[in-house]
Each structure stands twice: as C-alpha cells, then as structure tokens.
Amino acid sequence: MKLVFIAHPVRGDVAGNLEKVAQIVRKASLYYSEVTPIAPYYLYCNALDDNNGHEREFGMIQSRFVLTKCDELWLCGDRISKGMKEEIKTAKEYNIPIINMIKTENK
C-alpha cells in the first residue's frame, strides 16, 4: 500500500477548501484500495491559527515533514497554490513522484 499526500489549496475559502479536501480523502480511500491518503494540513488548519503567520508556518513545516515520508504527492483542486508549490519543491527534493490530479479530480 502507498502512502499518498493530498495537496490542495486552502487559503481563501478555508472552510470550503477543507471540505473539498475531506471529500478527496474520502473518495481516494473508497476508490483506490492501494493507497492511504493523508492531508496533515487538514489537522493543522483545525488545530492552529491560519491567520497567525508563525502558527501557519509551523503547520506548513510539520506538514512538509509528513510529506517526506510519503510515496506520492497528489496535486488536487483547481490551481497550484503557494503552499502547494512548497510541497512540490519538497517532493522533488526527496524524489517523491508527483501526480497531477487537478484536471481529473471532478470527473
């Protein structure tokens, strides 16, 4: 089984975007039996204050650390956000395959 990091934009409509993340994790869990999807920033957005720059950065650092333990990075949502760019950079540094799900997520 592969551990898959789900990357998705969060800023802007935070509540709406986190709901989209929850749905993506649900679908991946139900339809891809060979993967375990994770989105650690989902937890950090609920536990830390995203409006506090220090807490936001701390959550992003922790989330990227979790990414280093993953087998793949899946890019989801409607765009590549600033945070996702950092996740892509981390994935490249650790030779983690990057799968672009942006165009196929809503099909």
Inside any domain, residue 75: yes
CATH number at residue 51: 3.40.50.450
Give the strand order in the sheet containing 72-75. Answer: 35-38, 2-7, 72-75, 98-100
Q: Could you tell me the pTM of the whole model?
A: 0.89
For residue 60, the enclosing domain spans 2-100
Inside any domain, residue 107: no
Q: How many domains does the chain have?
A: 1
Average pLDDT along the chain, 107 residues, taken 10 residues at a time: 95 89 95 95 84 86 96 95 94 97 60
Inside any domain, residue 105: no
Q: What is the DSSP string of 27-84?
A: HHHHH-TTEEEE-HHHHHHHHS-TTSHHHHHHHHHHHHHHHTT-SEEEE-SSS--HHH
The crossing angle, in degrees rounded to 10, of helices 53-67 and 40-47 is: 160
